[in-house]
Structure 1
Amino acid sequence: MHINTTTMEAVNLEQLRQKYPHTIFPDQFEGDFEEYAFIHPEPTPEYDAATHKAVEGEPARDDGGVWRQVWGVVELTEQELAARVPQSCTPAQGLVALYAIKGVTEQDILDAIESIHDPAQKYAVKIGYQRAITWERQSASMQAMAALLSLSPQDLNDLFSHAYGVQV
């Protein structure tokens, strides 16, 4: 990348070639040309990818007058965090994760299902729990189960995130 030092507009090599069609630029052109200065790339900073992301800032001159790429680290938004949460897992993964993060056993789940007073709802939740091939984060059965077990939305996120890494 290069920067127009007059307008502060960043341009790539192809844009530079289009602006100067009679000039031959090498494929890896890293020099200055007229009012365009080369932006020296910098490595992204270290960060926890589970909670943060690197964002590119505006190029800046260092103390030696060299233009350099600038990076910052920002926290992920709630929407970005939610998008990273897996939306399904196998029942075995879910049970292992549920025990690991909340200490809830399979018997605790069965007892919670038995506490449902409405026979139709009890049956639906029981079938959803016992016969599901996958647990779906947004399913009605999973939401009912979460309510029975007093799991918050964050608990569900933690459950599915943890379950994703469980090998059974």
Structure 2
Amino acid sequence: MNGRTTRLVTASALACHLALALTGCGGGRQYTTPPEACGVPVAEESLDPFLVDGEEVGAVGDSLADPTGTYPGNCELRVDGRLVFGAHLYAEEELVDPMSGGPWTRRFDAPQKMENLPFRGLGAVDGRRAMISAACGAPAVDHLVLDLYTSPRAGGDEAERRRDVTALALGLVPEMKKRLGCTE
């Protein structure tokens, strides 16, 4: 081999080695988007804005859709140990207004009322959190309250985050109601 050929072979070998090393080292999502989050079916497009690069996704805590569960329930979805979203599920005797100014409202930075919920209930949202109180009518749950919070690392501006948090919460609540056996 002449000097030029040796350099080309060496450069090609280094480029292949570097490409293999970078592929093996990761970057991007190396996991499959879960069809359920915290025991609740969730649409990929609702969850996608909150997912981060990593190798492993998993839930920590209680199922939020277990009719024999205890309240309050708590669950977090994490990627490589980093928070994607977390949720608390409460069973209440009556509908709770997250905009009432009481202890529920203190959880928000700048809440806005959620309008036109596709079920009987009340909701509020800010750029990192949503809270929905909905009628249920199941034996163990007259009304449920979902308190959803997302990672501070979630991107986008305030309006985008509100839209994304709203979509995730509105995707979770009807599925939770089905699994909990809600009749309302």
TM-score normalised over the length of structure 1: 0.20
Larger Rg: 1
Query: Whose helix proportion is higher, 1 or 2?
Result: 1
TM-score normalised over the length of structure 2: 0.19
